[in-house]
Structure 1
């Protein structure tokens, strides 16, 4: 018998292909898991942004993991509205990012990101030593979702997961 709880437990364990320390559930990309009347498991995913190159891999990994767990009928649905936001990253996901040396995103002011035409000045704490004397070295990191920073106190580089 196919149950939503069992399917959800499997779906919640699928890792993110770009940030494998996080699951898609930690990242807030896994939106919903349903079981249709015919037993089809439907997992709904929201990409972190519309051009996310990892979305195909996320869909394939989710499909494979559910099938390996014994679910014969699987459909992966992409949900674009409402758009994903870094506010959906779980507290556990934020801890995992910091534990792996990536500064987690902060909360968006008023639930919105303000467009500014001048460079944004922000203070980040180093995820390694906690110092606030840090500097951005590159607006783009290993993925477009991250920027590169350096701590002036411990001199270690680190990535920051940008607020979206």
Structure 2
């Protein structure tokens, strides 16, 4: 396997149903004379899982025979929830986590508009009739919601 294939298969420590590639956190992998450099972008700057991501990448690449591994954090451009792949969105929904809505990709400055959060359909029954219980769920990048139709409580991965 190439270093890119190995790194792309590493799972996210907080969302183990997704790989770092599916989450859009894995930015680039370069091999040069036996040395591998991996660039990742956290879902938000203070993400507490950065150390675990780094350790998992170094361990998995080491197991695949890559002894010199450097993991770097790239904060620009900042991670966006529209970097989550379609398979990642599907896996989030299958795990009972409402995936974020996809924002259209633009070039140039992106205007910041503050308003109510986008609606999150229930990942269990599909109902759009949901209520935000807490702005923060099991992690800072998720909100806690409840479906008014089926009564299920679920995490909603925030749009960024």
TM-score with structure 1 setting the length = 0.89
The answer to whether 1:26 aligns with 2:22 is yes
In the alignment, which of 78, 81, 85 is matched to residue 86 of structure 1?
81
The answer to whether 1:42 aligns with 2:5 is no
Question: SS at 2:2's partner residue?
Answer: helix
Deviation at 1:109, TM superposition (A): 6.1
Distance 1:152 1:99 in 2: 19
In the alignment, which of 146, 151, 154 is matched to residue 155 of structure 1?
151
RMSD: 1.6
Deviation at 1:110, TM superposition (A): 6.8
The answer to whether 1:124 aligns with 2:117 is no
Q: How does 1:129-148 map to 2 (within 5 A)?
A: 129-148=125-144
Question: SS at 2:149's partner residue?
Answer: coil
Cα gap change, 1:113 to 1:152, in 2 (>3 Å)? farther
The residue aligned with 1:76 is 71
TM-score with structure 2 setting the length = 0.92
For structure 1, the residue ranges without an aligned partner over 5 or more in a row are none
